[in-house]
Amino acid sequence: MVGNWLKTSILMAAILALFGMIGGMLGGGSGMLLALLLGGAMNVYAYWFSDKMVLKMYNAREVDGASAPQFYNMVGELAQRAGLPMPKVYIIDEAQPNAFATGRNPEHAAVAATSGILQLLSARELRGVMAHELSHVRHRDILISTISATMAGAISSLANFAMFFGGRDAEGRSSNPLAGVAVALLAPLAAALIQMAISRAREFEADRGGAEISGDANALADALTKIDAYARGIPMAPAEAHPETAQMMILNPLSGGGLAGLFSTHPATEERVSRLRALALGR
């Protein structure tokens, strides 16, 4: 738990530094101070409300034992096995098979799955996926992913503002317009690299933890293989509109490939499956 609090603090500090850099480009010393204050306020807001923002972005609807009994009861059984409080359960009406967990701690957690993944996977495979998401909750890294998603989006917006309106020096004079373009390109990249560094290692750990919770490493391996085969050809509009949230999903929901893959927040599916197969064999 201490390790994740340290990671969260480092993440917040790094994002705050990016806010300050962009603010300095926009308005010199006063712009930097204003951006730092804005970044600090957004960090506080993200801590308390970023999970609700993400769920709203995806038009997620909460379900219970009456509206989605099989899915809801499955999550409840896995939460009990993991020693966790019952999270809120959501369904996202999207055809792409995917899922994520969010919230600031296990007592205020939520898990969400798309209608596409509920239709695609067998009960055994879906159980593996939801165990993976609950592993994120148990490891308390849902706060890191949710805050990073919210703040990365804010940084991109601020960087675009810098490109279109340019910067000012300490005396209020216009600065080099190329610097604004550089900030607009490099600041979102820096935010993406921060997310990538956090997310890739976290996915391997959640795979291992999910296999432990479900007691069936092959179920998650089978699910990942099936999701990877289907998700590539089915776009998810909310993820494309908010690419900073992609790292929260069990598999990258974005349609971009090629060079974009170098900056993917998810490790290669083949490697994840290989590790799970080895785990199932006791290696």
Catalytic (active-site) positions: 133
The answer to whether the CB of 269 falls within 8 A of the CB of 225 is: yes
The answer to whether the CB of 265 falls within 8 A of the CB of 247 is: yes
Q: How far apart are CA 243 and CA 223, in angstroms?
A: 23
Q: How far apart are CA 198 and CA 167, in angstroms?
A: 31
Tokens 């603010």 belong to which residue? 23
Between the alpha carbon of residue 116 and those of residues 19, 94, 138, 231, 236, the distances in Å are 37, 6, 25, 9, 10
Q: How far apart are CA 271 and CA 283, in angstroms?
A: 15
Q: How far apart are CA 59 and CA 92, in angstroms?
A: 6
Tokens 């432990």 belong to which residue? 212
Q: How far apart are CA 23 and CA 34, in angstroms?
A: 7
DSSP string, 105-143: SGGGEEEEEEHHHHHHS-HHHHHHHHHHHHHHHHTT-HH
Number of helical (H) and strand (E) elements in the chain, helices listed first: 9, 4
